[in-house]
Amino acid sequence: MSVATLGNVLKSLGVPGKFTQLLMVSYRYIFVIEQEYQRLQRAAKIRGFQPGTNLHTYRTYAYLAGMLFVRASMRAQRVYQAMLCRGFRGRYISLQTFKNGLQNRVFAVFMFIALVIIIYLEWI
């Protein structure tokens, strides 16, 4: 199931829209931030960085984390501006529709019970 489909299903189940949007955006940008981190780490290695337990290593990792936050913030601003240009009004619109039927509710109840049982068995 795609993230967009999951967001639409959560919306049809009555999950608040802000939570659904947060989930969808977070899922998307975890991978984007990971790619950015790998790119910055690769750049440090190309420049001859060898990690150790000295002040230079700690400073380098602090700079790397700082640059990661700065680049993520800049990217978020660009994405937000692009979404506004495309007509985003605070909610996602999906072309798929889902009906919340009895079969789906029964399945959700059984899955919840199975999850509770599994968690209980882990604690024993």
Could you report the per-residue pLDDT of 17-74, keeping only the tens digit for each?
888 888 878 887 888 888 889 999 999 999 998 888 899 899 999 999 999 989 888 8
Query: Count H helices, E strands: the chain?
Result: 4, 0
In-domain check, residue 82: yes
Average pLDDT over residues 105-122: 92
Extract the tokens encoding 45.
């290695």
Q: Is the pLDDT of residue 8 over 90?
A: no
In-domain check, residue 111: no
pTM of the complete model: 0.59
In-domain check, residue 114: no
Higher pLDDT, 4 or 104: 104
Indicate the DSSP class of residue 94.
-
In-domain check, residue 93: yes
Average pLDDT over residues 5-11: 78
List, for residues 75-95, the tens digit of each pLDDT value.
888 888 888 888 877 766 667
Cβ density class 81-120: b for 16+ within 10 Å, e for less: eeeeeeeeeeebeeeeeeeeeeeeeeeeeeeeeeeeeeee
Gap between the Cα atoms of 86 and 81, Å rounded = 9
Gap between the Cα atoms of 45 and 39, Å rounded = 10
In-domain check, residue 72: yes
Domain count, the chain: 1
In-domain check, residue 109: no
In-domain check, residue 104: no
pLDDT of residue 92: 66
In-domain check, residue 123: no
Write out the residue range of the structural domain in which residue 68 sits. 3-98
